[in-house]
Amino acid sequence: MNQNRVPTVVLGVIGADVHAIGNQILEYALDEAGIEAVNIGVMSSQQEFVEAAVETGADAIWVSSLYGHGEMDCRGLRDKCVEAGITDILLYVGGNLVIGKRSWEGVKDLFLDMGYDRAYPPGTRPQEAIDDLWQDLVEQRESKDVVSSLD
Amino acid sequence: MNQNRVPTVVLGVIGADVHAIGNQILEYALDEAGIEAVNIGVMSSQQEFVEAAVETGADAIWVSSLYGHGEMDCRGLRDKCVEAGITDILLYVGGNLVIGKRSWEGVKDLFLDMGYDRAYPPGTRPQEAIDDLWQDLVEQRESKDVVSSLD
Amino acid sequence: MKKPTNYKIPEDDFLAMRPEVLAGWPTGQRVDLAEALEYHSSLAAEKNMVNRLQQALKKGETLTQPRAGVALPEELKELLTFLHQEGEADVLPTTIDSYTRQNQYREADRGIEESRHEERSMLNGFPAVNHGVEVCRDVIESIEVPLQVRHGTPDSRLLAEITLAGGFSDFEGGPISYNIPYAKKVSLEKTLRDWQYVDRLVGLYQERGIDINREPFGPLTGTLIPPSTSHAVAILEALLAAEQGVKYLSLGCSQNGNMVQDIAAIDTLEELAEKYLSSEGYSDITISTVFHQWMGGFPQDEAKAYAVISWGAATAALSGATKVIVKTPHEAMGIPTKEANADGLKATKQVVNMMKEQSFDQGEKLDREKQMIRQEVAQILSRVKEIGEGDWCQGVIRSFEAGILDIPFAPSRYNSGRVLPARDNNGAVRYLDSGELPFDSEIMEFHDNKLAERGEFEEREASFQMVIDDIYAIGKGMLIGRPRE
Amino acid sequence: MKKPTNYKIPEDDFLAMRPEVLAGWPTGQRVDLAEALEYHSSLAAEKNMVNRLQQALKKGETLTQPRAGVALPEELKELLTFLHQEGEADVLPTTIDSYTRQNQYREADRGIEESRHEERSMLNGFPAVNHGVEVCRDVIESIEVPLQVRHGTPDSRLLAEITLAGGFSDFEGGPISYNIPYAKKVSLEKTLRDWQYVDRLVGLYQERGIDINREPFGPLTGTLIPPSTSHAVAILEALLAAEQGVKYLSLGCSQNGNMVQDIAAIDTLEELAEKYLSSEGYSDITISTVFHQWMGGFPQDEAKAYAVISWGAATAALSGATKVIVKTPHEAMGIPTKEANADGLKATKQVVNMMKEQSFDQGEKLDREKQMIRQEVAQILSRVKEIGEGDWCQGVIRSFEAGILDIPFAPSRYNSGRVLPARDNNGAVRYLDSGELPFDSEIMEFHDNKLAERGEFEEREASFQMVIDDIYAIGKGMLIGRPRE
Ligand code: B12
Ligand code: B12
């Protein structure tokens, strides 16, 4: 992350999912927080997320999945990022990620195992994830500083 | 049971319990079924049940307990019957017998162990118990017939 | 002993009666009025019920209140805290157990012991007399909102002494409402006298600057009570309480299920109580209203129970009642777990919150219901006054004897039990048999016609079978007990 | 290709189009119209939706219907049977999965396989196209009540062919309602054409004596949709369907939460649809109404969800809707278990049963809401007709381009998205920004005033923050999203 640059987040709703309302609110919340929000909207493929992130040099991708197919749709996004050379990009995912009412701990682990950095249960307030983002970005920078000071 | 006699049931609500509505309906249902109902009403002690049964030569006692203290109030009624010489009288109990929502099987066993012949969960239709009563009375008579034929 | 009459007990007479009452159980010795007043003064304003109700009246809130009580104080505190925090209850009760209600303090002691031993509550409420003043205060101090004593005790003099000294600021019941539905052999003479004591005690607190709320028990037997019956009782108890110096009264009734009739009931209850209180010379009384979610038999299925609860909450909000008393999804089965109790509260709160800014067109139907209630109450109360030769106490006693006051399904032998209610074809509760109620022919015809209409629709005569069907109906998923096919 | 216009597809043209549609997936080959008609004739009358709806209309019933669908047929049958028997559902759906909705039959196949392998449904609905005609019939035969296909498919031609041949007698959706809220890049030209096909197919069944019901999807994006917006869409879809020979239509909208507005919505929907249909020359159409319980974000807490469900049920009953579509206590979390689904149904049934004999005073408030809806709908539809130069298809296309039709929060790029709704101070949904909707100044002022009133009360400007607060409100226990303290 460029120290003086406003951080950029690519956000969208993955798969054949058309739930548009949370997505609109997330965009608004990111804007309000002074974060550059690149909203690729609903029904976005993994490819579209990656392309948008590469194009905008994004710091993070926020994937939403509401409609229940998240488990199938979200698998493999980290690999695609690695392939595209944005290995370290922060991947957050949130919404109603799986089908049915399941224990959140299990669902969270499922998505962390898929390579997401953070996963959020239904009903998460945008501010919570924004706070996490700032923190993750600081940590990332610090660890990069360490790396560069070792150079 | 005298073969030609209309059967008699003493009914009432035990302990400090004032729930009167089910009791009024049970009386009405017994009447309609052609059974002599001796209703001693709410707030009746074990002693009052036994006395009424002795006095009327009843075939059965129907104890109601709704208010939650049934476990404490109903213990010992069978002993009192035995003491009063009405050893074989049918004892039925019904209502909201214990405090709280508990598994019916456990509650039922608790009351059968106390010496009740039958126990009924909340929401029992009077007709169900009336059917049981006719059946129990027939069986009782048959077994008495067996005893007397052995004399 | 002199027959009870409706006069304010002189303070000296009252103080002379106290020692005997306080001697009823060892914990009574601890009660000291002066010290209790000081204790109340020391409590934060948020813990006083009158204060909270005034606030609600001003803001037009409908407060939620559960029923809850267990045998042991630690469990009670835990339960009440949970209902406040998790259940979002606005005000809280302490429900008293049935032994205490019968002044059977020895049995209550046994219940406490058994509860300690079994590690679950073996009592259906909190035996406050046995626990005594300090334990009550410990409870009061651990809860952030005001507490009311809810019971069903014909003779609650000692209970009132202990709980009021213990910091409770609201006391439910009355000489009729906690006798006729709650007792079998207790005379009205006795309860009228005993509740004069309780009301006088509240009056004493009041005169010394401590606000205590009193709430007659509106639902009576909770089952198909026509509004004019419960209103007549509520207003009578309000008059009797006012005479003894009570200044803050919550009057209530329970949901019958026909929304227009229910809203009419709450509207007229407040209106009529104010009218009678002021015409009888009690002009500085503040009335709030209480709406009880359906008090009769509930569906066993929890989803259906939620529906009944929510529908009651909606009616409460639309009627603008100051407080709604909440049922739980366990109602048909047994005393609820604290979770089930909180669930009933949360469902109620959600509906109340969603409804609080809404109001309805009020037109002819509502007017007609209100007009009927006004007329019926007027006819009952004027007969009560007449037969009492101007004295409300005597009026009550003689009216119950004569069936001028008559509460459906009540267990008391002092109740004539001739009145039978049933639903009309829209689910409103009517008098199928009005017994000796002093109604004129216009009113009688109104009820007869309403029930004839239903009878015609159902192709059967209005009879006791109809009443039974109505008693079961809500438990079986219906409002009106239609004949089975 | 010619631009779509609102004309009835000649039968020959239609039959010429069919082979291509049926070639969309191998299961299409099995469809044979003559045989399908015979199959429908062989089914018991109770399994036909039109039949059931007619009965409900006659008796004034409000039928309950859940949403439900899983990947595999055995599980679907079990689910539906359970919802009928345990949940007491009057009529049943089969909800189609999201891959099928996008015509991604390959993904759906993968979902079927994964579901078999994991032994739980990995699809959010039933992939009827992949399963084919015989499997559908097997489902129909095992269920005692009529089944409706519920989906959200912009291009549902093949789905309609297969499910109607499979014995379903009711098909949801429409060219606008299953496009704008359900797609991002699909043009209205395409969906108008595709739904002409579906409606023509239904018309073909109808002309050959098999009654099939059609139901435009009333709720649209389900979130704060002002009634005139959803009414305009529903009426347009009704007109388009009628042109193709559809005779039975259920028109609906979703609960907004203000009871007066919601009742006004159902009342006017029926009234206006009948008016427009007959003035456009379609006079033998039967309209029934559908009320959806709150379609926006739900509370996570189940008790609170029950409250929202029950309140929706009450409104449905009071409005006299023919059918109520039921939510579940799991709504905020995920696709419900069958038990949770049955619970929502049971709660709804209890309320509907308790309310069915009741009605309200309808006065000034209701009249005003109805009058507003009538005027708004008239102004929208007359502009649509005008801009389409008399053709409803062209009118729809050009109106969306111009923002004369504009659905709040919709994902489609063919929607201008300028309209913003918000609640007024009584919770009714108003136009905060009416974008390019063709309203006169009287209407604009009405909405502005209503929102200014709220703004004043909340001491803030009406803005997008207010909209967000309203979107969250019911999920957080309120109707109106008041500013946080
Ligand atoms: C109405 C009612 C009242 C009225 C009663 C008026 C009156 N005097 O009758 C009032 C408001 C006064 C009242 C008071 C109290 N109640 Co109450 N009440 C109810 C309620 C809502 C309905 C009861 C009723 O009338 N049902 C309709 C009749 C027809 O059904 P029934 O009584 O169940 O009887 C039928 C069957 O059970 C069966 N049956 C009954 N006995 C027997 C016996 C035999 C042998 C057979 C075969 C069948 C049978 O047949 C009957 C006819 O069909 C129930 C909950 C419910 N069921 O929904 C609570 C309930 C019974 N009450 C309860 C309690 C705790 C109380 C109180 C302690 C107050 C409190 N906590 O606030 C006081 C007790 C006072 C006292 N000393 O008894 C609890 C009992 C809890 C438990 N067992 O765990 C219940 C279950 C509510 C609850 N969930 O908390 N109550
Ligand atoms: C409105 C709605 C619809 C509307 C959507 C309109 C539109 N185009 O937007 C309509 C009616 C069209 C619809 C359709 C469907 N829906 Co829908 N819908 C809902 C509903 C009721 C509300 C969603 C909403 O707008 N919430 C308000 C917003 C603000 O909250 P949100 O979406 O949850 O987003 C917030 C948070 O989750 C979080 N968040 C979200 N993503 C992310 C990502 C990150 C990184 C972070 C940090 C945070 C975050 O922040 C957001 C803003 O606060 C939900 C249930 C609910 N929540 O109550 C069901 C729900 C999401 N729908 C569901 C389903 C299944 C469907 C359908 C398949 C239809 C069906 N079964 O009938 C179709 C799917 C169509 C498709 N292809 O996608 C299911 C999903 C089930 C599951 N996961 O198990 C739900 C949960 C309902 C249910 N219980 O069955 N739906």
pLDDT in tens, D58-73: 999 999 999 999 999 9
Calculate what percentage of chain B has a pLDDT beyond 90: 83
Disruptive mutation site among B13, B19, B21, B96 for chain C (greatest number of C CBs within 10 Å): B21
> What mean pLDDT is predicted for residues C259-280?
98
Residue B3 forms part of a structural domain: no
Catalytic annotation present for A131: no
Chains C and B touch (3+ CB pairs under 8 A): yes
> What mean pLDDT is predicted for residues B91-105?
93
Q: Which residues from A are below 8 Å from D220, CB to CB?
A: none
- Ligand 2 center from residue D91 Cα (angstroms): 25
Q: Does C478 touch chain D (CB under 8 A)?
A: yes
Q: Which residues from D are below 8 Å from A123, CB to CB?
A: 300, 332, 475
Please say whether the beta carbons of C255 and C310 come within 8 A.
no
Interacting residues of D421 by C-beta distance below 8 A, sequence separation 6+? D224, D225, D226, D408, D429, D430, D431, D432, D467, D470
Which chains form contacts with chain B, at 3 or more CB pairs under 8 Å? C
Place of tokens 């062919």: D161
Does the pLDDT of residue B114 top 50, yes or no?
A: yes
CATH at residue A65 = 3.40.50.280
> What mean pLDDT is predicted for residues B106-112?
96
Provide the pLDDT confidence category of residue A4 given band limits of 50, 70 and 90.
low
Q: What are the strands of the beta sheet with B60-65, ordered from one edge? A: B36-44, B8-14, B60-65, B90-95, B118-120
- Ligand 2 center from residue D335 Cα (angstroms): 10
Res A44: pLDDT: 97
Domain count, chain B: 1
Alpha-carbon gap, residue C339 to A146, rounded angstroms: 51
Helix (H) or strand (E) run with residue C172 in it: strand C170-172
Q: Which residues from D are below 8 Å from C479, CB to CB?
A: 353-355, 357-358
Q: Which residues from A are below 8 Å from D when comparing CB atoms?
A: 15-18, 20-21, 24-25, 28, 41-43, 67-69, 71-72, 96, 98-102, 122-123
Does the pLDDT of residue B1 top 50, yes or no?
A: no
Give the Å distances, CA to CA, from A115 to A74, A143, C375, C428. 10, 19, 74, 62
Residue A28 forms part of a structural domain: yes
Place of tokens 């037109």: C363
Please say whether the beta carbons of C267 and D270 come within 8 A.
no
Q: Which residues from D are below 8 Å from A42, CB to CB?
A: 184, 411
- Ligand 2 center from residue B2 Cα (angstroms): 71
Hey, what long-range contacts does C70-74 have (CB within 8 A, 24 or more apart)? C70/C115, C70/C121, C70/C123, C70/C125, C70/C126, C71/C97, C71/C111, C71/C112, C71/C115, C71/C121, C71/C122, C71/C123, C71/C125, C71/C126, C71/C127, C72/C112, C72/C115, C72/C116, C72/C121, C73/C126, C73/C131, C73/C135, C73/C138, C73/C139
Token reading at D95: 């909800």
Please say whether the beta carbons of D89 and D68 come within 8 A.
no
Provide the pLDDT confidence category of residue B102 given band limits of 50, 70 and 90.
confident
Rg of chain A on CA atoms, in Å: 15
Residue A2 forms part of a structural domain: no
> What mean pLDDT is predicted for residues C117-146?
96
Q: How does DSSP assign D216-250, residue by residue?
A: --TTTT-SS--HHHHHHHHHHHHHHHHHTT--EEE
CA of D181, closest atom in ligand 2: 8
Res C103: pLDDT: 96
Residue A132 forms part of a structural domain: yes
Q: Which residues from B are below 8 Å from C184, CB to CB?
A: 18, 41-43
Res A130: pLDDT: 97
- Give C352→chain D minimum CA distance, Å: 9
Cite the beta strand spans of C293-444 per DSSP E: 323-325, 420-423, 429-433
Does the pLDDT of residue A1 top 50, yes or no?
A: no
- Residues D335-373 pLDDT 10s: 999 999 999 999 999 999 999 999 888 899 999 999 999
Average pLDDT, chain A: 92
Average pLDDT, chain C: 97
Res B150: pLDDT: 56
State which residues form the domain around A123. Answer: 8-150
Residue A49 forms part of a structural domain: yes
Alpha-carbon gap, residue B88 to B147, rounded angstroms: 14
Q: Which residues from C are below 8 Å from B25, CB to CB?
A: 468, 471
- Contact criterion met (CB < 8 Å) for D221 and A21: yes
- Residue identifier of the C-alpha nearest atom 4 of ligand 1: C221
Q: Is D25 exposed, middle or buried (0-12, 13-18, 19+ CB in 10 A)?
A: buried
- Residues A139-150 pLDDT 10s: 988 887 766 555
Average pLDDT, chain D: 97
Q: Is B109 exposed, middle or buried (0-12, 13-18, 19+ CB in 10 A)?
A: exposed
Q: Is C414 helix (H, G, I), strand (E, B) or coil?
A: coil
Residues of B that are catalytic: 17, 19
pTM: 0.96
Residue B1 forms part of a structural domain: no
Res D364: pLDDT: 93
- Give C21→chain D minimum CA distance, Å: 44
Provide the pLDDT confidence category of residue B141 given band limits of 50, 70 and 90.
confident
Chains B and D touch (3+ CB pairs under 8 A): no
Of C102, C335, C411, the CB nearest to B99: C335
Q: Which residue of B has its CA nearest to C100?
A: B16
Taking residue A88's Cβ as centre, other Cβ atoms within 10 Å add up to 12
Res A99: pLDDT: 87
Alpha-carbon gap, residue C291 to C285, rounded angstroms: 20
Q: Does C308 touch chain D (CB under 8 A)?
A: yes
Res D2: pLDDT: 72
Does the pLDDT of residue A69 top 70, yes or no?
A: yes
Of A21, A24, A68, the CB nearest to D334: A68
Does the pLDDT of residue B151 top 60, yes or no?
A: no
Place of tokens 């559809």: D246
Calculate what percentage of chain C has a pLDDT beyond 90: 97
| Residues lining ligand 1, Cβ inside 6 A | B 16-22, 25-26, 62, 64, 66-68, 92-96, 99-100, 120, 122, 124, 126, 129; C 67, 95, 98, 101, 124-125, 152, 181-182, 219, 221-223, 295-298, 330-332, 334-335, 409, 411, 471
Q: Does D475 touch chain A (CB under 8 A)?
A: yes
- Give the active site residue among A17, A59, A73, A136: A17
Q: Does C221 touch chain B (CB under 8 A)?
A: yes
Res B146: pLDDT: 66
Q: Which residue of D has its CA nearest to C476?
A: D350
> What mean pLDDT is predicted for residues D228-257?
98
Of C310, C345, C425, the CB nearest to D357: C425
- Residue identifier of the C-alpha nearest atom 47 of ligand 1: B129
- Give D61→chain A minimum CA distance, Å: 32
Of D307, D311, D346, the CB nearest to C304: D346
- Ligand 2 center from residue C292 Cα (angstroms): 37
- Contact criterion met (CB < 8 Å) for A42 and D330: no
Provide the pLDDT confidence category of residue D266 given band limits of 50, 70 and 90.
very high
Alpha-carbon gap, residue D146 to D34, rounded angstroms: 21
Residue A68 forms part of a structural domain: yes
Which chains form contacts with chain C, at 3 or more CB pairs under 8 Å? B, D
> What mean pLDDT is predicted for residues D190-197?
98
Of C303, C360, C474, the CB nearest to D346: C303
- Residues C301-337 pLDDT 10s: 999 999 999 999 999 999 999 999 999 999 999 999 9
Q: Name the β-bridge partners of B118.
A: B92
CA of B26, closest atom in ligand 1: 52
C198-207, C357-366, D128-137, D263-272: the lowest-pLDDT one: C357-366
Residue A109 forms part of a structural domain: yes
- Give C458→chain D minimum CA distance, Å: 13
Q: Which residues from D are below 8 Å from C351, CB to CB?
A: 307, 310-311
Q: Is D44 helix (H, G, I), strand (E, B) or coil?
A: coil
Q: Please, what is the angle between helix A126-150 and helix A21-32, to 10°?
A: 60
Q: How does DSSP assign D137-172, residue by residue?
A: HHHHHH-SS-EEEE---SS-HHHHHHHHHTT--EEE
- Residue identifier of the C-alpha nearest atom 17 of ligand 2: A67
CA of B97, closest atom in ligand 1: 83
